[in-house]
Copies of this chain bind each other. A is one copy, B any other.
Amino acid sequence: MNSYTEENYLKAIYKLVEQDGEAVSTNAIAEKMNTKAASVTDMLKKLSDKKFINYQKYQGVTLTAKGEKTALIIIRKHRLWEMFLVEKLNFKWDEVHDVAEQLEHINSDKLIEQIDKFLNFPKTDPHGDPIPDANGKLLTPKSKPLSAFNVSDNCLMMGVVDHSPSFLQYLDKMNITLGNEIKIKDIVEFDKSLQIIVNKKQTFFISNDVAKNILVKTK
């Protein structure tokens, strides 16, 4: 099998490629992994030998089909565990990530398929992120940041961009949760901040920065 470290590198590379849509740099990986570029270069050689990535010196890396599938299976495990923690063990959505970072490396096909079944085959995790299937296939939901919508648009809260506990706790305080209806009442010309109505009840002011990190679709 692959080491805990190899799995984390694959996941980091997957997320960077997904985000940037092109070959990712040694430095970008180093930053994401909280390590040094020299360490990354060593690992890239190993992952390349194992056919997980396409790598040529100085040219950046992409994942091979094998590498992408491996990364997606780890992401599947991460998101299923997060869902389990929230649905069955009373964790809040801002508490699950660090534990899931450990649990995602547990190696047992039966375990993860039983967790999936136990949760009744959820499609998304507690943050609205889609859960890849057992073959590593992922359906990307077509949501966009709230900041891309206009006054009087009526939206459905689908997910978050920023996953940090502090952002998630801020949303809790505003009573903004997955599935909520968010209607844009006003957009301030000066700073693009928004006045929104959540579930036809509460009215809030949120900054454009916040709106950029809330994913919605038209209702």
Contact = CB atoms under 8 A, between A and B. Distances in A.
Interface in A176-215: none
Q: Which applies to chain A's interface (DSSP): helix, strand, loop or mixed?
A: helix
Interface string A88-101: 11110001001100
Interface in A95-134: 95, 98-99, 102-103, 106-108, 110-111, 114-115, 118
Contact of A111 (B99, B106, B111, B118): B99
B107 A89 contact: no
Contact of A108 (B90, B99, B108, B110): B99
Contacts of A118: 88-89
Contacts of A158: none
A72 interface: no
Interface residues of A, number: 18
A53 interface: no
Given A89-B111, A99-B106, A99-B108, 12 more contacts: A89-B114, A89-B118, A91-B114, A95-B110, A98-B108, A99-B110, A99-B111, A102-B106, A102-B107, A102-B108, A103-B106, A106-B106
A85 interface: yes
9 contacts: A88-B118, A89-B115, A90-B114, A91-B114, A95-B110, A98-B108, A99-B110, A103-B106, A106-B106
A96 to B, nearest CB: 10
Instruction: Kindly list the 7 A-B residue pairs having the minimum CB-CB distance in the complex, ordered from nearest.
Output: A89-B114, A99-B108, A102-B106, A99-B111, A90-B114, A89-B118, A103-B106
